[in-house]
Amino acid sequence: MMKATKKAILGLTLFILGVFLVGTLVVKLDTKELWNTLTNFSPVGFVLVLALTFLGTVVSSWRAYIILKSQCPDVKFLKLFNIWLAGHSINYLTPFIYFGGEGIKAYLMKEKMNIPLDKTTSTLVFDRILEISASLIMIGISIGVFISYAGPVGFTKTIMSVIVSVASIAALVIIFYFQVFRNKKLLAPIIRRIGADSTRAGKFFIRSEQEVVDFFTVNRAVFWKGWAISIVKQAVLISRHIALFYFLGKSINIVPVIVSLGALYAGLTVPIPASLGIQEAFQGISFSAVGLAAREGVALSFVLRGADILLAGVGIAILLRFGVGFMATAARGLGEEPNMLKYNGESDKK
């Protein structure tokens, strides 16, 4: 519980920092022009953006469904979709690096769908690896498009620092792919070396890692289906960005669309809840970098944030439907991983 409390305090501090960043950004821009840009955004356009945001979550849920169904044939899509919406709300409201929504998903899949914890973990890990991989590819494409447009002289210190951060994550993902495609493991040797392979936690992580490796080496069909669905999701998000540009009154030019989408993904690497302030700043920078007004980038961020908040609200409503008591139990589970592992171990013995 102490660990969960520390995370909550840090999250609140980062949230306040995000609010300060948004306020500072709005003050530095022409507030009147920003307001005019937002009020001129068509309600029909917002509904379309909201629909495409929702569709992106449907596609994400379908990818998880395909992965999980290969292990548990009786799984129901609608049940999993509700859980994914609930997890999405937590992922949106917490810093990306906490993976808070993944803990909620794992808990709900265990409690509401009776899926063993090792299978939920491998599904969530595989799903998140595909999500991160697709996002990194889009960021790479965005950087390539930006270089072709502005040339190396267009890079600022901020852009370079983001590239270094993203490159570090990309290197870890590449190492992971390199290992698993050779049917090699990363965690198991470390766990055995430190003598933790006989503990519940050690056994759990070794078993879960084996499940993930199996997806890449044995269930190749599931792997490629997952990648295909990830590409479909990127197509949906690109369509959403095109709609945002269109209803902002911008000409449909692939360069600013791709650069802006890459900046959106890059902003998620900064550990601030909902990328508050960071998303707006990155959009302002990306718009300026391709010769557009920074306020229009901030306006795009605000419209997109509105759609995200509405969808997160649906997820929170689903959590509330499970009851306040359940939410408290889930929160304790997130802060006390050993209890969850112990619970899983006892279930396995049965």
- Whether pTM > 0.85 for this model: the answer is no
Model confidence at 52, in pLDDT bands (50, 70, 90)? very high
Task: Output the CA torsion sign for 89, 91, 95, 100.
Answer: positive
Task: Give residue 344's pLDDT.
Answer: 41
Mean pLDDT, range 328-332, rounded to an integer: 51
Span 12-29, pLDDT tens digits: 676 677 677 777 777 777
Domain ranges across the chain = 42-322
Average pLDDT value for residue range 301-327: 82
- Name residue, tokens 């003050």: 27
Instruction: For the beta carbon of residue 341, count every other beta carbon within 10 angstroms.
Output: 18
pLDDT top residue among 15 and 57: 57
Highest mean pLDDT among 119-123, 162-166, 171-175: 119-123
Local structure of 81: helix, strand or coil: helix
* Rounded Cα–Cα distance for residues 2 and 11 (Å): 14
Could you report the per-residue pLDDT of 62-87, keeping only the tens digit for each?
999 999 998 888 889 999 999 999 88
Residue 296 and residue 301: Cα distance in Å, rounded?
Answer: 9
**Per-residue pLDDT at 45:** 94
* Contact predicate 304/275, CB 8 Å: no
Question: 337 or 284: whose pLDDT is higher?
Answer: 284
* Confidence class for position 142, pLDDT limits 50, 70, 90: confident
- Within 8 A by CB and 6+ apart from 261, the residues are 138, 142, 237, 238, 241
Tokens matching residue 167:
């490159």
**What element of type H or E holds 175?**
helix 157-180
349: how many CB neighbours lie within 10 A of its CB? 6
Lowest mean pLDDT among 101-105, 291-295, 307-311: 101-105
Per cent of the chain over pLDDT 70 is 76
CB 87 within 8 A of CB 315: yes
Q: Name the average pLDDT for the chain.
A: 78
